Structure formats: C-alpha cells, structure tokens
Structure 1
Amino acid sequence: MSKLLKIAHIIDLINEWIGRITYWLVLLMVAVGTWNVLGRYLGRMIGTNLTSNALIEIQWYLFDVVFLCGAAYALKYNEHVRVDIFYKNWSRRRQALANFVGNIIFLIPFSCLIIYYSWGTVINSWKIREMSPDPDGLPRYPIKFTIIIAFILLIFQGISEAIKNWHIYQETNTSQEDN
C-alpha cells in the first residue's frame, strides 16, 4: 500500500502545481476581461478600437483552462459538487468507501468516455489547424486539446483519491466507526 500512496502523492503534487498555476490564470483572465470592458468604452470615447476579438477569445480560453484544469485540483481538495444529505453524517470509513466507489465506478469511466468521444474532434481540429471564424480570432485546436489534458488529469486525481480512500477504509477501525 505504501507504493500506491507514493503514487497518489506524486499525482497530488502534479495537480497541486497545475492548480496553483490556475490561480494566476484567474487573475490574468480578470485583467484581460477588465481591459476588454475598459477598452471598449475608452475606445468609443477616443474613436479608436482598443480591444479585439483575439483578446475576447483569450479571455474565453483562459476561462476554459481554469475550469477544465481546475477540476482535478478541486477534486484533490474535496471542493467538487456533492449532494451530501447522507454523506455528512456517515463515519469517516463509510465516506472513504463511498468516495472510493464513486471514483472507480463513476468518475474514472466518465472521464474515459469524455476522452474517447472528444478524441476525434480534437484530432480533426489539429489536422485542419482549426481557427476561430471571427476576424482576428485565435486558433481553436490548442484549446480543444485542453479537454483531453483536463480529463487525463481528472482520471489521475481520481486514481489518487481512490488510493487514499481505500487506505482510509482499510486503516479505520471497523468496530468503532461503522456502528
């Protein structure tokens, strides 16, 4: 089990690093969004366009990266959406088992399906070097590849969480907590 916990730790470190990068991307996204708004109004006042479709699309792309790559980070910190009507009252051992089963039966297979069904679209986008249809728009193929990257990160974080929850389940004293 200690080798598996080391693997989980490495996965956690990778997603921690990526999660911290997304912090800065949020700030950048807000700065670009602020400039897009200010530039539009200031540009009208002085008669010059101070923003562009590229800047608007950069803001969208930053949001995509933050949302997609932040998912594994949110899972790592148990900040994802959960309906915990029963969960909050369960013992730590039972919660660990529910988390383990949820990761193995739902999260990992769902993430694999997303990758499987997105793969063709992403590859086609790269083959044709898909561009935004908007004037001054950005390439679409790199941001589409983020879907694959994000769900791979989510799969790995799901594996890490499964390992840690299985460890909790095994280590927790059954007779004391499961009553």
Structure 2
Amino acid sequence: MPRAAIAFVRIVEAVNYRIGRIAMYLFLVLAGVLLWSVITKAFFRPALWTQEMAQFTMVGYFVLGGAYSLMLNAHVRMDLLYGHWSPRRRAVIDSMTVLALIFFLAVTLWGGVESTIYAFEVGERSRTVWRPYMAPIKIVICVGVLLMLLQSIAFLIRDIATLRGERI
C-alpha cells in the first residue's frame, strides 16, 4: 500500500480514538444534566433547559462516539455467515458494503452542512421555550458524520490492503 494511504488510516484512527475517548465523558455530562433536572423539579422551579440539553448531549455522545465504535468493530453486525468466512472473503464483502456506507455518509454530511449553513444564515433557534441556537449541535453532528466517513474510507483502504495480501 502507498505510504500516504497507510498514514491516512493511522491518522484517522488516532483522531477517532482520541475523540471517542473524550466523547465517552459526555455520558457524565448527561447524567449531571438529568440529575439537575430531577433536583430542580423536586425542590425548586423546574429548569426549562434540562430536557433539551440532555437531548443535545446525547446526540453529541452518540454521533462523536460513532466513528470510535466503528473503529473498534463494536457496532452491530449479522454474524450468521460472516464469522465463518476467511479474512480475504470478509475483505471482499466489506469493500463492497463499505461503499454503500460511504455514499450514505457523504449524502448525510452534504445535507448536514447545508442545514448548518442555513442555521447560521437565519440564526435558527429551537422551537421550545428555552430557544437555543441550533448551529452548535448541527456542527457537532457534521463533525461526527465526517469522522464516520473518514473511518469508513480507512476501512476501505484496510480491505484493499487485505485483498493485496498486506496488513496495515
């Protein structure tokens, strides 16, 4: 494999590893927001922002951790036949299916960027009582989708290397 391809795979996986490890702590932020929600509902006037902030935090946790779980092969996979195949046969099937994933993620990223640009142009806000700006969460979603797209391309490069009899 060309050195640039190997470097691309290593850089993408290093970035996804670090961001994934950081994103894991968003679960603690989520727990804190929900705890605050419970406390304010029980003892004070309920906070208007907690439900939506919990949703935004969960979206960040899920989307930013997506590439990390892809990298670790921690995603759900039907293993009826796949587990019994040789590494070469898996690479053939994976290299075909990852193309569909790359297409899906590219279209999703395109739509996400368009939506984020719109959110900046019009100052889009949520339709709730709290009315937070939507651009920050849309940026997080776009970054997460971009990381998954890059990880999918890294998978394709790994599969091509496997088909060539090489390891990355």
Q: Same fold (TM over 0.5)?
A: yes
Corresponding position of 2:27: 26
| Stretches (4+) displaced over 4 A | none
Point out where structure 1 has 5 or more consecutive residues left out of the alignment. Answer: 173-179
Where 2:49 maps in the other structure, the secondary structure is helix
Displacement of 1:59 in angstroms is 1.1
Q: Give yes or no for contact 2:13–2:151 (8 Å, CA) kept in 1.
A: yes
How many residues are matched? 165
Q: Secondary structure at the match of 1:171?
A: coil
Contact 1:53 1:137 in 2 (8 A): no
**Conserved 8 A contact 2:63-2:144:** yes
The answer to whether the 8 A contact 2:41-2:47 is kept is no
Q: How far apart in 1 are the matches of 2:108 and 2:79?
A: 25
| Equivalent position SS for 2:65 | helix
1:176 corresponds to which residue? Answer: none
Structure-2 separation of matches of 1:132 and 1:22: 24
TM-score by length of 2: 0.89
- Root-mean-square deviation (Å): 1.7
Residues 126 and 132, structure 2, Cα contact 8 Å, conserved in 1: yes
The one of 58, 68, 75 equivalent to 2:70 is 75
Q: Could you tell me which residue of structure 2 aligns to residue 54 of structure 1?
A: 49
Provide TM-score, normalisation by structure 1.
Answer: 0.84
CA deviation after TM superposition for structure 1 residue 158, in Å: 0.6
Aligned to 1:109: 103
* Matching residue within 68, 81, 95 for 1:100: 95
Deviations 1:73-105 (A, max 9, x none): 1110111222222111111111122222221x2
The reply to whether residue 134 of structure 1 matches residue 134 of structure 2 is: no
SS at match of 1:165: helix
Residue 53 of structure 1: SS of its match in structure 2? Answer: coil
* Superposed CA offset, 1:23-45 (max 9, x none): 1111111221122123212x2xx
Gaps in structure 2 of 5+ consecutive residues: none
Secondary structure of 2:136's counterpart equals helix
